[in-house]
Amino acid sequence: MNTALVKDLVCKVALSGDPHAYKKLFLFYYPRLLSFSYGFTNCKEASEEVVSDVFMKIWSNRTTLLRVANFHLYIYVSTKNLSLNCVEKQKRDKTFSLDDVHIEFKSIYYDPEQLMISAEMFKRICIAVQSLPPRCRLIFKLIKEDGLSYKEVAELLHLSTKTIENQMTIALRKLGDAVALQKEAFLLS
């Protein structure tokens, strides 16, 4: 789903409370927001509740939705805020750090057969992704899988765009290293 389509759906929800458009938005964002929220709450049930609450808020404020300049970012920020509220409820004394987020990658593990690579290389890629520092992995996922821009991620996580750029460089370099190792092995054999 592209930005124009999301915009169109948001328009329909805002202008006429279109239930089909609302459902489409929900189905599109649910898995993404669930995994994003899980990074903060580390609890599936809590995240499910957070995402449902996010959408509840969207429905009750739908008439003001089109005043939101960037819906895609807005929904991630809402999810982050509600997730943090939820975490805060659980442990009020501990401050939350981005290094505590647990991010699961969907696209890279999803279907190794889609890639023309060997099982060995696939394993290497998985390890590379897993070994990325949590903050780096979160940034990489938000940009690659959730389609946010550098600027949006910077705004969402209260980081500078330069940091996002650096973290993305690190992530890609690690992936590239995993692939390059494979090349060497291939040449040796």
Partner 1 sequence: MHQNRFWNLLAKHLSGEASAGESMELESLIKKHPELSFAAQHVTDLWKLKAGHDVSEAEKAFKLHMDALEVKHTDSAEEIDGQVEESKKPVKRKTRLLLSYTLLLFIIISGGLFLWVKETKPSDTIAPQVAEVSTRPGSRTKVVLPDSSIVWLNAGSKLKYDHSFGQTNRNTTLTGEAFFDVKKASIPFIIYANGIRIKVLGTAFNVKSYPNEKTTETSLIRGRVEITIDKRPGELFILKPNEKLIVANDLMRAKPDDRKKLPIVVLSEVTHSSDNLVLETLWVENKLIFHDESFEEVARKMERWYGVKINITDDRLAQLHVGGGPFENETIEQALKALQIAFDFNFTFKDNNINITR
Q: Which stretch binds partner 1 (CB under 8 A): 71-79, 82-90, 91-99, 160-168?
A: 160-168
Q: Which stretch binds partner 1 (CB under 8 A): 70-78, 83-91, 94-102, 161-169?
A: 161-169
The single residue among 3, 61, 63, 160 that binds partner 1, judged by CB under 8 A, is 63
The single residue among 12, 32, 80, 135 that binds partner 1, judged by CB under 8 A, is 32
Spatial separation of the C-alpha atoms in residues 138 and 156, rounded to whole Å: 11
Q: How far is CA 13 from CA 20, 42, 50, in A?
A: 9, 31, 20
The single residue among 42, 43, 52, 77 that binds partner 1, judged by CB under 8 A, is 52
- Does residue 108 bind partner 1 (CB under 8 A)? yes
**Residue positions counted in the chain:** 189
The single residue among 74, 77, 133, 145 that binds partner 1, judged by CB under 8 A, is 145
- Does residue 48 bind partner 1 (CB under 8 A)? yes
Note whether 115 and 122 are within 8 A (CB): yes
- Does residue 82 bind partner 1 (CB under 8 A)? no
The single residue among 150, 154, 156, 157 that binds partner 1, judged by CB under 8 A, is 150
Note whether 138 and 170 are within 8 A (CB): no
Residues 6+ apart with CB under 8 A from 134: 98, 99, 100, 101, 102, 103
Q: Which of 109, 108, 179, 175 is nearest to 136 (CA)?
A: 175
Write out the binding residues for partner 1, residues 5-24 only, by CB under 8 A: 14-16, 23
- Does residue 115 bind partner 1 (CB under 8 A)? yes
The single residue among 5, 130, 165, 185 that binds partner 1, judged by CB under 8 A, is 165
The encoded tokens of residue 76 equal 């991630």
DSSP states of 147-171 as a string? ---HHHHHHHHT--HHHHHHHHHHH
